[in-house]
């Protein structure tokens, strides 16, 4: 995996160290590429504190990130995000056979939440890849459960 190309700065002691795979939702990615976002600093701090974490996400998340960065900041910012992904800082997980069925099942199971394809794709990937650690700004991830009924662990909001 390529380096994340983060500016040098001392990591924050606020976050417990984490090594291994982490599924990343759109909120932290948007904040990372938008210096004016109030979450920009906390996301940078988390990344600096966790250089051994492997960042993974899904294509619906990448689509949402590109659309929102282009709309809020400009096309060049969305392209910078894609270049960052291309360098290996974030691995995009391709859907597997049955992923759409599982996304639908998750969305129906949590129908009391506002529908969000990106969030459902993260919950599906977490179950399929057996990953419980996520980075998200959304409180919704506090209610998602894996198939064993265990909550996903949002490392950014601990």
Q: Which residue has the higher pLDDT, 16 or 68?
A: 68
Would you list the domain boundaries of the chain?
20-154
Could you tell me the two tokens for 139?
A: 């409180």
Nearest CA among 140, 135, 81, 85 for reference residue 110: 140
Q: Which residue has the higher pLDDT, 26 or 13?
A: 26
Q: How deeply is 69 buried, as exposed, middle or buried, from its count of CB atoms within 10 A (0-12, 13-18, 19+)? A: buried
Classify the phi-psi angles of 54: left when phi > 0, otherwise alpha if psi is within -120 to 50, otherwise beta. beta
Q: Which residue has the higher pLDDT, 123 or 144?
A: 123
For 15-57, the pLDDT digits (tens) are 667 889 999 999 999 999 999 999 999 999 999 999 999 999 9
Could you tell me the two tokens for 145?
A: 């459960």
Average pLDDT over residues 5-23: 65
pTM for this model (two decimals): 0.85
pLDDT at 14: 64
Pick the CATH number of 20-154 from 3.40.50.1010, 1.25.40.10, 3.90.1150.10, 1.10.150.20: 3.40.50.1010
Those residues with Cβ within 8 angstroms of residue 30's Cβ, 6 or more apart along the chain or in another chain: 37, 65, 68, 69, 72
Could you tell me the two tokens for 12?
A: 């924050």
- Asked whether residue 114 carries a pLDDT value surpassing 90, the answer given is no
């Amino acid at each position: 995996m390529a380096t994340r190309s983060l500016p040098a700065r001392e990591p924050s002691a606020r976050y417990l160290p984490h090594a291994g795979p982490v599924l990343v939702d759109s909120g932290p990615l948007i904040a990372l590429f938008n210096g004016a976002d109030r979450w920009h600093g906390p996301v940078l701090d988390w990344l600096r504190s966790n250089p051994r974490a492997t960042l993974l996400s899904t294509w619906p998340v990448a689509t949402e990130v590109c659309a929102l960065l282009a709309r809020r900041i400009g096309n060049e910012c969305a392209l910078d995000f894609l270049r960052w992904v291309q360098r290996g800082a974030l691995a995009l997980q391709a859907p597997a056979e049955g992923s759409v069925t599982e996304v639908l099942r998750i969305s129906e199971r949590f129908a009391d939440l506002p529908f969000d394809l990106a969030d459902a794709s993260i919950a599906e990937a977490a179950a399929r890849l057996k990953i419980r650690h996520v980075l998200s700004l959304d409180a919704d991830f506090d209610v998602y459960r894996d198939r064993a009924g265990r909550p996903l662990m949002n490392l950014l909001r601990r």
